[in-house]
Structure 1
Amino acid sequence: MLDRDISRRRFLTGSALVAGGAFGVPLLGACDASSGGDSSGGGKTVTLTVMYKNNELTKEHIADFEAKHPGIKISFIEYDETRLNAMLASNEPPDFVRAPAVGSAASNAQGLTTALDPYLDKSAVLKKDNLMAVNESFRWDGTRTGQGPYYGITKDWSQDATLWYNRALFEQAKIPPLSTTEPISYDELLEIAKKLTKKSGGKTQVYGLGVEWAWGLSSPIFMMILQQGGQVYNADLTETDMTTPEARRAIQWYVDFGQAGVGPTTLDPAPDGADLSLFLAKRMAITQDGYWYGGNFVKESEEIKNSVAMAPAPVMGDKRISPTYVGWGAMIPAKARHKDEAWKLMEYFMAGPPSEERAKSGWGLPGLKSQLSLLPQDLPYQKQAYQTTQAELSHVAQLPDSPYITGGGWLPVLDKHITRAIKKEITVDAAGKAITDEINKLLKQGKDQIG
């Protein structure tokens, strides 16, 4: 599926780039969702233009697909947001494109993508009732996600707020390990992180908790707000209010986290922008990452494999939800020339051998319910993670997705003002007000551009 290192999942950064790039830039007039594409006919060979990552759709996959579909040849382009944006704007898009489920509202609202229901209704291998709930984020009814036609299919995903921890570091600190079945509260988690953190000579030797700060705070803050019964956007997704009690509590938690010095932040960044190296070096006790994170440990030492465990997503409030932050998959552009052939690749990639390989690898949950049983359970930590995940799936929920702004807009605004609050340059209330004002300006710009 993917190279087996952390780079496979700089997912929040990646989705933010998509949001601010190819799918976030209004391209009105560039693509019309009602326009069709031609298909192969008369025995002619069709060249299908595909933009994806070559460590996800590999040369071996392409060769296998072409062998099974002798009338189709693939012209592969390495995924690049800038190039994709230019291709969409020039009405010459690829036929098959890598795309995120969470964050797809912008492209769907602009008419850049093809509704897949006519294909799903006829498919023998991709059935709506077999799609995992993450695919709901690819749906769009003209006003919001989660309803209406499907505009993409997810290849793999995780409930990204779950926790991985090192039991050995808990034992050293004489702290009971986290429950693998019952969620901990965010307030309790921060208190435990303080006890696990070790400092010496003004330097942090062991971080108690990592939250993948560099990947962005919008998705976890959205989750915190929803868990308290709050709302991120107004009814038509054109405004936000980060001064509500629910939003204020979420922002306060991250300010407290930063001031406590229990994990990397913008003021104390992780050495490579991610938690993994610290976690593997036993310099981080807990990291907030999805099921996919377990793929990192398969080739590690027995000490690591015997120490790691997965816990449910923490909660803030009375409503337990555990969402995905992205959910990478694929879409077929509205102006694609070979939609029928692109759908054949969709079926192969999402339900054929590549999808089975992905599920068996443990580098994410499958997009299909029928493939959950393929997840690895050979190692004790894999079996434990599988059991935790099975229970966690009953709490999956969608994050709100406005077509007028995406992660690329939220990320720097949240980081800037939360960091200022950590430094005590402004209060939490002032941070919430500043975030609200800046995001609402961006939402208005997006609304004005899209119409």
Structure 2
Amino acid sequence: MNRSGLISRRRLLSGTVIAAGGVAAAPLLSGCNAGSSGKSSDGGSKGTVTLTVMLGVNDLPKETIADFEAKNPGIKISLLQTDATRLNAMLASGNPPDVAGGGAVGSANTNARGLATDLTPYLEKSQVLKKDDLQPVNDSFRWDGKKIGQGGYYGIVKDWSQDATLWYNTALFDQAKVPHLNDSQPTSYDDLLAIAKKVTVKQGGKTKVFGLGLEWSWNLYAPLATMVLQQGAQLYNEDLTEVDFTTDAARRAVSWYVDFARSGVGPTSLNPLPDGSDQSTFSAKRMAMTQDGYWFGGNFVKDKGLNDAIRMAPAPVIGDKRVSPCYTGQGAWIPAKSKHKDEAWKFMEYFMAGPPAEERAKSGWGLPSLKSLLPKLPQTMPYQKQAYTVAQNELQYAAPLPDSPYVTINAWNVALDKQLQRAIKNEQTVDAACAAINTDINKLLKQGKEQIG
């Protein structure tokens, strides 16, 4: 399968979610379960059904579409490239695609607005996709009407990673005479920053080798939320309508990010990489460490000059609790107003458990969503074997990130970056930054609550 990790992952992690601001001002749709549809728009005739699927072209190449159509006579696929703006417009008009791509983390907003179909009835009948075979990451797609993590399944993850884990270049560590990271024991965030300073190389006033990349332009909410959870604290109140980012745990997380930025050991929004991604810089041996999930290793299968030197390490910790979450968990869902739910489910079975799922697992571009596919992960090359071992051990520390239906992840990222920049530039203190984040997010939460009800 022709899969571009850099392009697809950047698009997916950088905000292909519904409502780029706070919460979209779309009408709340009535819930729609699997039993409420199933007939095609032609009234159930035997004519061809055209299934509109909005996914990345790398996830659904022409060969895969042809294979699905051959195995499902009477169903044709019309592929739309993932586009959040277009998806919003289609949802608002009541004419959505039949299948849409999206992240599990952040799906609370979609589900609270009644935009997605409860897939549980389909799962309970399926001979292909079974609930007990789903990895726990799928729990972030679950919704009980108030919170994620329980209730019905409103989407299924296609592949995922525990994205706080680290990849590093042992050759650059050796050049700096720095010991390699431990395969099973996490590095503290304080030690991580200290190591990053040692492996950073500056020459002529410019950075020749960055010590650490955090994929700053992709996500700030997830890593900061992880740091709070690792300290045993909570971001939200019980009903997810208010956030407290002024706690000691949140302050410590923000302070670490400010220290990281001021140290100059890695890219930030104030000192961004040209392409906004660590991958090209890491591949050029100009970055010693990058905070990326298991999927990142898929970039280096054909790079013999680098795959001999790279290794994966556990997610770093800032508190006493090991938490190694998935930042997004990309998958797919069936809009509530899809006109072809039964056919859409056939596609979901094929895409999530059929040949495409097996190919994704074999490629190493992320962990499979199904437990039964874990053995298919690649272990041919030494770095793949090492990463597989680290990833297997890390699974026990997986935990869902908090997800309020009243604010989007994008809105979080915008607020965090704005206030972090001001703190980094000494325009405000860390305490003031935390207070400002509180104000910004709680305002959006209030608005979201009023819109959704």
Compute the TM-score of the two structures, normalised by the length of structure 2.
Answer: 0.96
User: After alignment, is 202-211 or 368-377 more displaced?
Assistant: 202-211
Q: What is the distance in 2 between the residues matched to 1:233 and 1:2?
A: 41
User: Does the Cα contact within 8 Å between 1:20 and 1:407 map onto a contact in 2?
Assistant: no
Q: What is the distance in 1 between the residues matched to 2:438 and 2:28?
A: 31
1:331 and 2:330 are equivalent in the alignment:
no
Identity of aligned residues (%): 62
User: Does the Cα contact within 8 Å between 2:21 and 2:411 map onto a contact in 1?
Assistant: no
Pair 4,128 (structure 1): closer, same or farther in 2 beyond 3 Å: same
User: Does the Cα contact within 8 Å between 1:36 and 1:336 map onto a contact in 2?
Assistant: no
Q: What is the distance in 2 between the residues matched to 1:12 and 1:120?
A: 25
Match of 1:391 in 2: 393
Residue segments in structure 2 that go unaligned for 5+ positions in a row: none
User: Does the Cα contact within 8 Å between 1:96 and 1:330 map onto a contact in 2?
Assistant: yes
Match of 2:280 in 1: 277
Match for residue 230 of structure 1 among 233, 248, 266: 233
Pair 132,415 (structure 1): closer, same or farther in 2 beyond 3 Å: same
1:200 and 2:199 are equivalent in the alignment:
no
Residue segments in structure 1 that go unaligned for 5+ positions in a row: none
Q: What is the distance in 1 between the residues matched to 2:74 and 2:283?
A: 47
- Look up the SS of the partner of 2:440 in the other structure: helix
- Look up the SS of the partner of 1:146 in the other structure: coil
Write out aligned runs for 1:38-437 (5 A).
Answer: 38-40=38-40, 41-300=44-303, 302-437=304-439
Deviation at 1:76, TM superposition (A): 2.1
Pair 212,2 (structure 1): closer, same or farther in 2 beyond 3 Å: farther
Q: What is the distance in 1 between the residues matched to 2:28 and 2:400?
A: 30
Q: What is the distance in 2 between the residues matched to 1:158 and 1:26?
A: 31
Match of 2:3 in 1: 3
User: Does the Cα contact within 8 Å between 1:22 and 1:81 map onto a contact in 2?
Assistant: no
Write the deviation string for residues 152-185 of structure 1: whole angstroms up to 9, x where unpaired.
0110010000000000011111110001111111
Match of 1:28 in 2: 27
User: Does the Cα contact within 8 Å between 2:123 and 2:131 map onto a contact in 1?
Assistant: yes
- Look up the SS of the partner of 1:18 in the other structure: coil
User: After alignment, is 345-354 or 21-30 more displaced?
Assistant: 21-30
Q: What is the distance in 1 between the residues matched to 2:20 and 2:203?
A: 43
Pair 80,23 (structure 1): closer, same or farther in 2 beyond 3 Å: farther
Write the deviation string for residues 385-431 of structure 1: whole angstroms up to 9, x where unpaired.
00000000111100000001121101121111111111111110011
Pair 17,126 (structure 1): closer, same or farther in 2 beyond 3 Å: closer
User: Does the Cα contact within 8 Å between 1:280 and 1:304 map onto a contact in 2?
Assistant: yes
Deviation at 1:319, TM superposition (A): 0.8
Deviation at 1:313, TM superposition (A): 0.3
Write the deviation string for residues 319-371 of structure 1: whole angstroms up to 9, x where unpaired.
10100000111101111111111100000000000000100000111010000
Q: What is the distance in 2 between the residues matched to 1:334 and 1:19?
A: 15
Deviation at 1:21, TM superposition (A): 4.2
Match for residue 442 of structure 2 among 412, 434, 440: 440
Letter aligned with residue 354 of structure 1: P
Compute the TM-score of the two structures, normalised by the length of structure 1.
Answer: 0.96
Deviation at 1:287, TM superposition (A): 0.4
Deviation at 1:30, TM superposition (A): 5.0
- Look up the SS of the partner of 1:382 in the other structure: helix
Deviation at 1:65, TM superposition (A): 1.0
Pair 338,117 (structure 1): closer, same or farther in 2 beyond 3 Å: same
Pair 17,124 (structure 1): closer, same or farther in 2 beyond 3 Å: closer
User: Does the Cα contact within 8 Å between 1:36 and 1:335 map onto a contact in 2?
Assistant: no
Letter aligned with residue 27 of structure 2: L
Q: What is the distance in 2 between the residues matched to 1:13 and 1:445?
A: 25
User: Does the Cα contact within 8 Å between 1:180 and 1:388 map onto a contact in 2?
Assistant: yes
User: Does the Cα contact within 8 Å between 1:36 and 1:334 map onto a contact in 2?
Assistant: no
Letter aligned with residue 224 of structure 1: M
User: After alignment, is 338-347 or 268-277 more displaced?
Assistant: 268-277
Deviation at 1:31, TM superposition (A): 5.7
Q: What is the distance in 1 between the residues matched to 2:74 and 2:11?
A: 35
